[in-house]
Chain A
């Protein structure tokens, strides 16, 4: 069963999945794609595109197995772990629930905020510089209407101030959560190294420059970030970067919760 992992620059969900892949020992053909050129929406050999088209995560990595596009970084990481070394998820049912709850906290609250701020900083200028026809051609390949809306907002520089403030608060909360979680001196978020470390690292690594105040006085969180970064699996993921500063590369992410 050949697998192809199409990934963006090693940041956010692409970083998390690349690291989980390396930890799992599973063999996959890793192919970098330019997310901001819309390449994710025109992948060859996809016969079951639903998860790529309608995923919650936005421009995350896509693992193609027998033509089926698999998305959502936490679930791809679980799939790789369960297909391989099986070391990245707690075996105890309650500890597993805790890991899932942690990952949901990150993907539902922190990820949309980090993607919003990251896109504002680096994706907006690039999309705004595209000519109208080229941008229109990319939009035409995006199946999901609400993901298309997020692309248009980024290109237009539509980043309302109250939302930006809320996003900064959410990132700040996430860093504080990490700091608190490590208070008992543990090395990894769940005690043992799990998918939660890679998912959290992926979304937070770039916020050191985006929201520097969030990291002020967060020594344990900063040390954890360095620890995750030093993992050979993360180093191998970072080595796949095609641009300098991969943690500054962002693409439209999950939407901000419509209920507030």
Chain B
């Protein structure tokens, strides 16, 4: 079998998706940590792998794959192991629908908070204004340049943040309603939609404690704890190197009460 190398940041959001999918699938891989806050993803050695400078990327023999959800589908197709796209054709449709909804509608809203309160300020603190300007200028994709500029220099407008906040509220209600219908997000079996959703949602009880907790969203909490208990999840989160990954330990608590929104912004670091 050709060797698999995964280039990833923390087990979180986009990086965490293929990490967890590979581990659930039982595919051994060479883990290559890319320190996003150190701009490793824009260094020549990484751009030689993925010229777009986005994380994650995966190589399988001579093949290079990008885009986290598409990588997960490839992993499921290309390797033996448990089928992570199980069920009927309609279940597959539902898995794909939820992944697209999360990837394009809900996750960008979460990440706007994460970048404003965590990624931007931490990158600025670590590098200083002049160096960071130069780093941003080297980013290959213009839309990623814009995202970094907005995050680092606090340029997200109030209207943008309000809209992201609205979407997070709506999305959490949608997840809760869906998980009240069935054990897993998109079908009766554990699937890539759950892998995707966990990476999006695992820290919600910390970052959105006023919206996601055992009183308001018991089904989300049941689902997050069930995924957290899986051996692959435990192994995956061990690959984290920053306090970001340790947020997952909140799921060891049996009861998480509602708390104020402001506490979430302080501790949430999405």
Contact = CB atoms under 8 A, between A and B. Distances in A.
Interface string B40-83: 00000000000000000000100101110011011001100000
Contact of B67 (A65, A70, A101): A101
Nearest to A51: B97
A219 B177 CA distance: 50
A81 to B, nearest CB: 9
Given A50-B174, A97-B73, A257-B143, A68 B90 contact: yes
Given A94-B74, A96-B73, A260-B143, A75 B100 contact: yes
Contacts of A245: none
Contacts, number: 81
Nearest to B66: A101
Interface string A86-109: 000000011011001100100010
Contacts of A96: 73-74, 77
B108 interface: yes
A94 B105 contact: no
A101 B70 CA distance: 7
Contacts of A65: 90
B249 interface: no
Contact of B105 (A56, A71, A97, A259): A56
A247 interface: no
A76 B73 CA distance: 17
Given A94-B63, A259-B146, A79 B93 contact: yes
Contact of B160 (A68, A71, A145, A258): A258
Contacts of B105: 54, 56
**Which secondary structure dominates where chain A touches chain B?**
helix
Interface residues of A, number: 30
B78 A94 contact: yes
A20 to B, nearest CB: 13
Given A75-B96, A93-B78, A258-B160, A108 B73 contact: no
B147 interface: yes
Given A65-B90, A82-B89, A100-B70, A72 B100 contact: yes
Interface residues of B, number: 35
A14 interface: no
B93 A70 contact: yes
B27 interface: no
Contacts of A259: 108, 112, 143, 146-147
B166 A145 contact: yes
A194 interface: no
Interface in B77-122: 77-78, 89-90, 92-93, 96-97, 100-101, 104-105, 108, 112
Contacts of A94: 60, 63, 65, 74, 78
Nearest to B146: A260
Contacts of A79: 89-90, 92-93
Nearest to A68: B90
B133 interface: no
Contacts of B160: 258
A79 B170 CA distance: 27
B266 interface: no
Given A93-B77, A100-B70, A78 B97 contact: no
Contacts of A68: 90
Nearest to B95: A75
A122 interface: no
B176 interface: no
A54 B101 contact: yes
Contact of B65 (A50, A51, A97): A97
A83 interface: yes
B214 interface: no
B90 A56 contact: no
B35 interface: no
Contact of A260 (B89, B100, B147): B147
B183 interface: no
Nearest to B142: A260
B74 A83 contact: no
10 smallest A-B Cβ distances: which pairs?
A93-B77, A93-B78, A260-B146, A82-B89, A79-B93, A97-B74, A75-B96, A260-B143, A83-B89, A100-B70
Given A76-B93, A94-B74, A94-B78, 12 more contacts: A50-B178, A54-B101, A55-B101, A78-B92, A82-B92, A83-B89, A94-B60, A94-B63, A96-B73, A258-B112, A258-B163, A259-B146
